[in-house]
Amino acid sequence: MSLTKAEALELFNSDDLIGIGMEADALRRKLHPEGVASYVIDRNINYTNFCTEYCTFCAFYRPLKGPASKEGYILDFETIYEKIAETVELGGTGVLMQGGLHPDLKIEWHEKLLSGIKQRFPQIHLHCYSASEILAIAEYSNLDLRDTIVRLREAGLDSIPGGGAEILDDEVRHRIARLKCLSDDWIAVHRTAHQLGMRTTATMMFGVGETYEHRINHFQRVFDLQEETGGFTSFIPWSFQPGNTALGGRKWDEATAVEYLKVLAISRLFLSNIKNVQSSWVTQGLKVCQMGLRFGGNDVGSVMLEENVVKAAGVTNCTTEEELRRIIRDAGFRPAQRDTLYRTYFLN
């Protein structure tokens, strides 16, 4: 049973953090009775930081023109292959590849890249391209959405990350990312991928001045699509990192641990039709991430051999596989490595 919007609003307005956490923990236990918390070993590769969208919350992008464009890059394929070879050597099972929107990078460039990776590393799971990138590739290549996803999949794309969702309420999107795709567009990409049999993840970036109602609208959109297609593997909420961004904000305005844990727990309760909810160490640090395992989270995300986007906002939490396994064990769970599709396996 999911929460109603009114119940979710009541929880957001409540100070009973522990009570909310216990309810979320009880639902987590029902969905994952085996007492396991999972993690994945993979690498984020950002093939370009050039972007035309100017999202005010983003510290990562560089414009195509003007003085700041000197800091822009497009990785060559050989560099990407080297990064993946390193990932494989270090026990990684997948790659999360995303980039800015660059009109010169049409579908042929992406097909060549994906198939080049799969030829060299057939075992690597390719979890790539946020909804806004897929829509941009379609537009630059004069293709419809469905054909774009089909061609990317035929070239080697295995699943699609939830990036670009931010808050799925256009009132917020107009304020923080005026040029970026609308909520319906994000939903359309994920619906089309699910209809084609692909799995995707859903994310939420909160703490950009949205109201509780905006957050709840976001949950509802994700919940409704999951009811329709069942294609989401997990939900990953994370808080806005204001450093080096136009949207900015003072460090002390950033979401606190209490705020984060509350969002995590309410998302677990609302999205009862999504099996996995991820607790984030990248934005929250290891200690809050560990607490998240008792606030509805059943996964701690990736060991992440490379990460550039959150780092661009000046946040440099880092960890190792051993450390993630230790925080999982100390929270009372059995650690298990998983693949990108949340299939777990145990290490000796």
Residue from 44, 93, 132, 298 that binds ligand SF4 (CB under 6 A)? 132
Under rule CB under 6 A, residue 53 binds ligand SF4: yes
Under rule CB under 6 A, residue 238 binds ligand SF4: no
Residue from 102, 127, 180, 294 that binds ligand SF4 (CB under 6 A)? 180
Under rule CB under 6 A, residue 165 binds ligand SF4: no
Whether 279 and 208 have beta carbons less than 8 Å apart is answered as no
Residue from 20, 41, 44, 61 that binds ligand SF4 (CB under 6 A)? 61
Residue from 58, 84, 97, 236 that binds ligand SF4 (CB under 6 A)? 58
Q: Give the distance from CA 292 to its chain's centroid.
A: 16
Residue from 60, 219, 238, 295 that binds ligand SF4 (CB under 6 A)? 60
Under rule CB under 6 A, residue 205 binds ligand SF4: no
Least distance (Å) from ligand SF4 to the CB of residue 143?
A: 19
Applying CB under 6 A, the span of 31-39, 56-64, 73-81, 184-192 interacting with ligand SF4 comes to: 56-64
Applying CB under 6 A, the span of 46-54, 183-191, 210-218, 336-344 interacting with ligand SF4 comes to: 46-54
Least distance (Å) from ligand SF4 to the CB of residue 52?
A: 7
Applying CB under 6 A, the span of 54-62, 120-128, 191-199, 244-252 interacting with ligand SF4 comes to: 54-62
Kindly tell me which of 55 and 261 has the beta carbon lying closer to ligand SF4.
Answer: 55
Kindly tell me which of 53 and 185 has the beta carbon lying closer to ligand SF4.
Answer: 53
Q: Closest Cα partner for 113 from 45, 186, 196, 190?
A: 45
Under rule CB under 6 A, residue 51 binds ligand SF4: yes
Residue from 21, 92, 94, 100 that binds ligand SF4 (CB under 6 A)? 100
How many residues in the shown chain lie near ligand SF4 by CB under 6 A? Answer: 12
3-state SS string for the chain: CCCCHHHHHHHHHCCCHHHHHHHHHHHHHHHCCCCEEEEECEEEEECECECCCCCCCCCCCECCCCHHHHHCCECCHHHHHHHHHHHHHCCCCEEEEECCCCCCCCHHHHHHHHHHHHHHCCCCEEEECCHHHHHHHHHHCCCCHHHHHHHHHHHCCCEECCCCCCCCCHHHHHHHCCCCCCHHHHHHHHHHHHHCCCEEEEEEEECCCCCHHHHHHHHHHHHHHHHHHCCEEEEEEEECCCCCCCCCCCHHHCCCHHHHHHHHHHHHHHCCCCCEEECCHHHHHHHHHHHHCCCCCCEEEECCCCCCHHHHCCCCCCCCHHHHHHHHHHCCCEEEEECCCCCEECCC
d(C-alpha 141, C-alpha 194), whole Å: 22
Residue from 101, 131, 188, 255 that binds ligand SF4 (CB under 6 A)? 101
Kindly tell me which of 57 and 333 has the beta carbon lying closer to ligand SF4.
Answer: 57
Under rule CB under 6 A, residue 55 binds ligand SF4: yes
Kindly tell me which of 30 and 65 has the beta carbon lying closer to ligand SF4.
Answer: 65
Binding site for ligand SF4 (CB under 6 A): 51, 53-55, 58, 60-61, 100-101, 132, 177, 180
